[in-house]
Structure 1
């Protein structure tokens, strides 16, 4: 390569691989959105759109018929010739790989608009010039398939072509809208659809096949280095451009017999910063303000920041490189030239003093209020008894306390992986005091340690755990509370999902509120107050059962409060799984181990089922067989189908080895533990009595609340029959997939009361009042209670 009369040798492969740039992804997303908007608007406002076009055409269509024909002919010839011009240009440039994508995009675009209810309708384009030339051209100008083909091939060939050509071609294609208006013709709605489809197909093709990076302006890089008194004589490619920069080694002749000088050149393409910018935006949305640096959208500004930080770190004597040149080159490229790294990279063979040297250099940085932000061992070298740093892309001058703590946490991970936990933590405490290291170790979590640091070590999770444990050992801390760095925690996300689910499942109930309130005028409020009191006592029963299952190892008072929050979690999740998870979490926070807490909840549920079935049999016998239960009891056919499906599931688990192993390794131990707990309960009659009494109070309390609701509206049924309805209806509705059984519970209870002779005028408001007392009031109280328990670190 010859630059300004200077011969520069270039070795290595400059051919950059096809890659999927962020621009390609954004283009595809915009094309998909544009296609959706065109389809939606054409379906909704098609007639209004045509009327608007006609009115605009009447205003701007000032050309005479002769002038209109001339404009139409000239534009038609240009549109007809455009794809052939592009094709000839690709062949002349020998873009052979592009021809396949070019042809595929054009063919797919035409075919996608040729599909009809009767199959594929082939285009009927003809070039019979015996007819009027305007007629020949109009078949292309007004055919959406031609417009789609043009948009597709323009999108595919655009990344390979100069920007000026690309802009002129798109301007020519998009001109069909104003030209139609000027010549007093309405733009067919199908043409806009063709444009949207073609752009979408082209964007999808580019996303699949990838695009080339632009031509590398090596001549500009050489001139930028010459201006900095570095006369380049040779360039060697160390790493082709791809997800990262193009890295080259530049060589210059030494003066006065000195050996040749070398420089490392990093060249960033025009689209490489876009991906980094989107990552910055995501970090800004996900992390707190104190955890994120100012957004830098410009590659030039990012490179300048890195060079300035290299100068600042070099001034305090711990930088292993120094910047030579920063320059903006042609075609959007940015140059960063620096000296080669001094010293050898730190690794496990660097000697016992290396870890101390690394931490000492970090102390020097922090004493000047500089944070590095990327403390991988690959960015640290040792030279003449001093640890030096490189990188500086994430460094900050005038760093905040948060950024300094993040540095310590990062270096704890890197040095623990390289030298071991004990030497790393002791060296950190030797440079910084125990309190500083202990505070920074709160950031030893997956969310706080950047991905680039975790990816640089083997088994990052084990390394982080080892570092935390060693910090606790060295500082004498009992535990290290993880630092919250995100704007939203996992618990907040779960609570938000539960709240949305609550609104969703409550909507059908809200629609019945006006009629329900009209019926409340005739209700006996003393019975309603009794129902509310009994409903509150069910929480005491449930808490008593779970307290006995946990052997009294948790606070009974807090357990009763937790049952209110449990109503919210159980109602807003299908099958009440949220309530089970919340109970287990509460027991764990109360001091029980994970296995012991799970076993206690499983034991309580098992006794609850046994008690429920026993009470159901007892009250069914007491109620007699005169009632018609067919309204809410499945038919024999349905029961046979359920039984057959259950047998099929059991057979599948028995014959599939993986499922059989899962039963043996995951289910069987828990089942054995629950059975052993039941056997142990049999030898403790007082504890067993508490659990059974609590479970019975929960079941009978719900039945008594429904009976009080029926009596509030003047119902005449007995408590025994209402108990049967509550237990049978609740059991059937528990299989409903809706959170809290919303809809299924109401239907089952209303049908059950009707089967026992309760009029519909009484059954409907009674069930709604029952659900208000036992479900919706506790749910809306449970939300703030759940947040209170979260603040108190009880769940």
Structure 2
């Protein structure tokens, strides 16, 4: 290569891989999405779209036929001259490589819209149609193939054109939409297809052929280095441009050159920044807090920031290179040149523990001037071993930040803990960190030793990052004396807020079927006896007292009975909006833990209460079924023989699977059996405390019988004459069958089971349906809507 009369030897491959040209790939992806949207919308809403455009055209068409012809004439001349003007510009600029791509893109776009089921379709002339302009130029404007050809040519030639001309010519092409509407000449819907096809073909051609951004401006790089006093005599490609910059060795024969005989030249093309931008956008979509330095949207500003940070860190004496030159080049490229790195990369040194202290000392120097590094991988840290001692130096300042926040500084410490732990071991790494930073700082930073908080490139730089992070956390706990290290929350919403949002969405879901029956239900309420309804509401409220008493006794009275009763209202919301009521169990366990019980003790108390509840429920069901006697037609609740055989077969199959699969068999022996044994011990111990057992059984019975009384009162509100015994049987059997429903709160299944049960006992449908709906309002929907603010109140009071 000859630059300004000087010969510069160039060796190596400068071609950037296709897979790494993110700008071109992103352009093709957008064109593909636009084409799919246009085709899909055209197929789905074609008639409505055409009718809408004709009506809009009729409203905005203010021109007379003569004026419309003049507008069409002017625009037609411009649109016909457009491709020839671009062609003339390319020939004048001697862009011979682009001419083939230019013609191929236009021809491909035309052929793509000319293919139909019978072969190639010729242009359709429509001089005989009264609603079309009878001019020759209108045929080009009406034909989407012409639009497609122009869009493809503009897309291919766009990167080679000046930005001013590119904007004006795209504006001229897209002007066909308002012009068509104003002159009321043709509906432009089909021309959108031509635009989409042309853009797609052009984007694909650009990806295959390339853009001027792929041509590396080496002559500009040589001139930029010469202005800084570095006379280049040879360039050697170290790494082609891809996910990172194009890296070259620059050599000089000038012995008086201040930069030495060699320099590292990094050249950033316009494709290098796209991946970083999309990565930052993805972090925003995931609603994560900023764990990295702010994004530089401009590649020039990003490289300039790196050069300035290298100068600032070099002034502190902890930079492993010195900036030689920084310059903007042609076709969107940016040059950053620096001296070769001093020292040996940290991940290439021996695991000598004497080297870990200088590394942490160098980081303390940075943080002392409120500078964060942001990329503390082993390859970005070098160690320069002198005669007396070793000095740690840093490189790669693309993520460094001056005036860094506490978050960025703590992220630095966490990243260096991982890097030094992987190389020197956890004990030496944590000891050196605490020696330079106080224990509280290291402990706070260790909260970021998680997969979510540490950047992916930091985790990928070490072997088995999960084990390294776990080892580092354990060592920090050991050396600081901390009981536990709570993981740092790096999302914009806490876990509790996400759970509450999910519960709220679930509430809307479960409430939808009820909302659809509101009109009919309210019409039935006009005939209801409100005294019975008030009785049902009062009995429903007593069930919360019974449930609180049972759980209070299971917890041996270790929590406040008043707060436990309030928690039962929130428990209704959590249990109703989650399948199988698991939310209620989790809420009860959390409340007991906040009340002072340990995790195991709280879990055991909830399990004991649920076990007694099941036993009490089954006992009451048997008792009331016997009392009901032959007056109750219980055959309606007994499944058919086929269903029983099916249930038995499934049960035997599950038993067989758990018997013959070793992992499941071990799970039964190591996980389930100890818990069942522990629960049996709790029940045996409970049997030796009659007073406590009586409170638990009475509370559980109050919960079951209170629900039955609420349904009985609801039936009485609409004039039903059934007995309390039969309603109790319906409530318990219907509730048991509906408990297996996968829907939150058993919505749909509970209503169907209760209505069917009342009908089995002779209650008319005109009474059973509104009675069950009133019962669900009293025992489910009202507590659910009250339970949400109660749960928020408990959260603010730190009770759950």
- The answer, yes or no, to whether TM exceeds 0.5 is yes
Alpha-carbon distance, 1:590 to partner = 6.9
Mapping for residues 371-386 of structure 1, pairs under 5 Å: 371-383=372-384, 384=386, 385-386=390-391
Matching residue of 1:345: 345
Provide the secondary structure at the position in 2 that maps to 1:335: strand
Greater mean deviation of Cα atoms: 320-329 or 269-278: 269-278
- CA change 1:506–1:258 in 2 (3 A) is closer
Matching residue of 2:216: 216
Alpha-carbon distance, 1:55 to partner = 5.3
Alpha-carbon distance, 1:615 to partner = 3.3
Alpha-carbon distance, 1:609 to partner = 4.5
1:46 to 43, 50, 71: 50
- CA change 1:550–1:759 in 2 (3 A) is same
- For residues 297-330 of structure 1, the C-alpha deviation after alignment (integer angstroms, 9 at most, x for no partner) is 1111111111111111111111112222221111
1:405 and 2:402 are equivalent in the alignment? no
Matching residue of 2:584: 579
Greater mean deviation of Cα atoms: 161-170 or 255-264: 161-170
Matching residue of 1:272: 272
Paired with 2:761 and 2:494, the residues of 1 have a C-alpha distance of: 50
Mapping for residues 7-156 of structure 1, pairs under 5 Å: 7-19=7-19, 21=22, 23-24=26-27, 25-29=29-33, 32=36, 42=46, 44-54=48-58, 56=60, 59=63, 62=66, 93=97, 114=116, 120=117, 122-125=119-122, 142=142, 144=144, 146=145, 150=149
Paired with 1:386 and 1:343, the residues of 2 have a C-alpha distance of: 9
Greater mean deviation of Cα atoms: 336-345 or 177-186: 177-186
Greater mean deviation of Cα atoms: 60-69 or 400-409: 60-69
Alpha-carbon distance, 1:31 to partner = 5.2
- CA change 1:280–1:678 in 2 (3 A) is closer
- For residues 649-684 of structure 1, the C-alpha deviation after alignment (integer angstroms, 9 at most, x for no partner) is 965995799x94563354665443454345435633
Alpha-carbon distance, 1:356 to partner = 0.9
- The answer as to whether partners of 2:553 and 2:695 remain within 8 angstroms in 1 is yes
Paired with 2:124 and 2:310, the residues of 1 have a C-alpha distance of: 66
1:640 and 2:622 are equivalent in the alignment? no
Paired with 2:8 and 2:108, the residues of 1 have a C-alpha distance of: 41
Matching residue of 1:316: 316
Matching residue of 2:466: 461
Alpha-carbon distance, 1:26 to partner = 4.7
Provide the secondary structure at the position in 2 that maps to 1:429: helix
Matching residue of 1:117: none
Greater mean deviation of Cα atoms: 524-533 or 544-553: 544-553
Give me the CA root mean square deviation.
4.8
Alpha-carbon distance, 1:386 to partner = 1.5
Provide the secondary structure at the position in 2 that maps to 1:415: helix
- The answer as to whether partners of 1:126 and 1:136 remain within 8 angstroms in 2 is no
Provide the secondary structure at the position in 2 that maps to 1:342: coil
- For residues 435-463 of structure 1, the C-alpha deviation after alignment (integer angstroms, 9 at most, x for no partner) is 33233333333333333322222232322
- CA change 1:389–1:75 in 2 (3 A) is closer
Provide the secondary structure at the position in 2 that maps to 1:467: helix
- CA change 1:104–1:304 in 2 (3 A) is same
- For residues 235-264 of structure 1, the C-alpha deviation after alignment (integer angstroms, 9 at most, x for no partner) is 121221122222222112232599962222
Paired with 2:423 and 2:101, the residues of 1 have a C-alpha distance of: 46
- The answer as to whether partners of 2:575 and 2:581 remain within 8 angstroms in 1 is yes
- CA change 1:627–1:59 in 2 (3 A) is farther
When the two structures are superposed, what TM-score results if normalisation uses the length of structure 2? 0.82
Greater mean deviation of Cα atoms: 244-253 or 736-745: 736-745
Paired with 1:257 and 1:372, the residues of 2 have a C-alpha distance of: 30
- The answer as to whether partners of 2:579 and 2:744 remain within 8 angstroms in 1 is yes
- For residues 58-83 of structure 1, the C-alpha deviation after alignment (integer angstroms, 9 at most, x for no partner) is 52764586996897699679889999
- CA change 1:246–1:549 in 2 (3 A) is farther
- The answer as to whether partners of 2:539 and 2:709 remain within 8 angstroms in 1 is yes
Paired with 2:257 and 2:86, the residues of 1 have a C-alpha distance of: 60
- The answer as to whether partners of 2:510 and 2:747 remain within 8 angstroms in 1 is yes
- For residues 64-120 of structure 1, the C-alpha deviation after alignment (integer angstroms, 9 at most, x for no partner) is 86996897699679889999x99xx9x974999999999998877667xx5xxxxx4
Matching residue of 1:722: 727
- For residues 162-205 of structure 1, the C-alpha deviation after alignment (integer angstroms, 9 at most, x for no partner) is 678977986676465467568862135333244346646876x6
Matching residue of 1:355: 356
- CA change 1:80–1:228 in 2 (3 A) is closer
2:762 to 757, 761, 772: 757
Provide the secondary structure at the position in 1 that maps to 2:63: helix
- CA change 1:326–1:793 in 2 (3 A) is farther
Matching residue of 2:502: 497
- The answer as to whether partners of 1:237 and 1:249 remain within 8 angstroms in 2 is yes
Mapping for residues 439-588 of structure 1, pairs under 5 Å: 439-513=444-518, 516=521, 527-543=532-548, 560-583=565-588
Provide the secondary structure at the position in 1 that maps to 2:374: coil
- CA change 1:467–1:304 in 2 (3 A) is same
Paired with 1:521 and 1:183, the residues of 2 have a C-alpha distance of: 62
- The answer as to whether partners of 1:21 and 1:211 remain within 8 angstroms in 2 is no
Mapping for residues 176-215 of structure 1, pairs under 5 Å: 176-177=176-177, 185-196=185-196, 199=199, 214-215=214-215
Provide the secondary structure at the position in 2 that maps to 1:500: helix
Provide the secondary structure at the position in 1 that maps to 2:483: coil
When the two structures are superposed, what TM-score results if normalisation uses the length of structure 1? 0.82
- CA change 1:731–1:430 in 2 (3 A) is same
Matching residue of 2:296: 296
Provide the secondary structure at the position in 1 that maps to 2:247: strand
The count of aligned residue pairs is 779
Alpha-carbon distance, 1:419 to partner = 1.4
Matching residue of 1:365: 366
Paired with 1:127 and 1:506, the residues of 2 have a C-alpha distance of: 57
Paired with 2:696 and 2:40, the residues of 1 have a C-alpha distance of: 59
Alpha-carbon distance, 1:525 to partner = 5.1
